[in-house]
Amino acid sequence: MPEILRSNAKVNLCLRITGRRADGYHTLSSIFQEIDLHDRLTFTPAADYSLSCDNPQIVCGRTNLCTRAYVAMQQIANSPSNWHIHLEKRIPIGAGLGGGSSNAATVIKFLNQVWQINRSESELLQITTRLGADVAFFIRGKTQLAEGIGEQLVPITLPEDFIFLLICPPIQVSTRWAYQQFNLTKKKEGYKFRRLFESGRIRWELFENQFETVVFPAYPEIGIIKNQLLQKGALYAGLSGSGSTMFGIFKDRHCAASARQLFTNYPTFIALPVIN
């Protein structure tokens, strides 16, 4: 029988670039938040592995993160059965929401269970290092402080409830390009999350995403969306990752739905943070 699993997106509530390693990778400090906007992965028993997708933009060959995750797990499994995976895409592509990384983590967790590999979370995290830094976050998901290149993860708890309004302009911003454009003289210390959550509230005024300093001049349309979200009453508005998704933080669904009416020219989503 087929098994259907959700594969949730994430947003970077904040992001600072803290340095650059000798191997060329940049280090960062960010808070990753899992949200309930999701793709669906259907796993069907099959004679051989294969991958399909309802979105023709997705390349289903050997470079796809789902396939790479499948092969990585196959290498440590004992005589595994095979599965066909069908991916239904709802998370916008190349928008800073981690859809591909989430899909890969979903494959890893499913195969760990169904093939009875039974690796611990910490062991699965080590497997993800070959696939990409964001994949590690989705093994545990929820809310985590991320440092290093995104692989140093510490679960945290947010003291307030809120809701997201996501605005997804049809622009794909290359993360590689964004890092190349960033002036490392503007780097800051990492986030001290205790400062962000004082007196039982979130201090949104301390949040920022430093990628905005390079993305907004190159793509002014994205910066305009941020200003519009703030004008519509967002507690905070920011870029997720290197974009192009902008999100607004609102206190409840009514406020988010009211603001959503301004953005009829873009794909929009109202999403809840995943905390349990």
Question: Which spans in 40-154 are helix H?
Answer: 65-74, 99-114, 121-128, 133-140
| 51 burial level (CB within 10 Å; 0-12, 13-18, 19+) | buried
Quick check: helix, strand or coil at residue 22? coil
- 41 touches 4 (CB < 8 A): yes
Helices 99-114 and 133-140: crossing angle in degrees, nearest 10, is 60
> In sequence order, which residues have a C-beta less than 8 Å from that of residue 227 and are 6 or more positions away?
none
What is the set of active-site residues? 10, 134
CB atoms closer than 10 angstroms to residue 204? 17
Single-letter amino acid code for the residue at 60? C
> In sequence order, which residues have a C-beta less than 8 Å from that of residue 266 and are 6 or more positions away?
167, 168, 169, 170, 225
Single-letter amino acid code for the residue at 48? D
Helices 133-140 and 121-128: crossing angle in degrees, nearest 10, is 160
- The rounded distance, in Å, linking the Cα atoms of 198 and 201 is 6
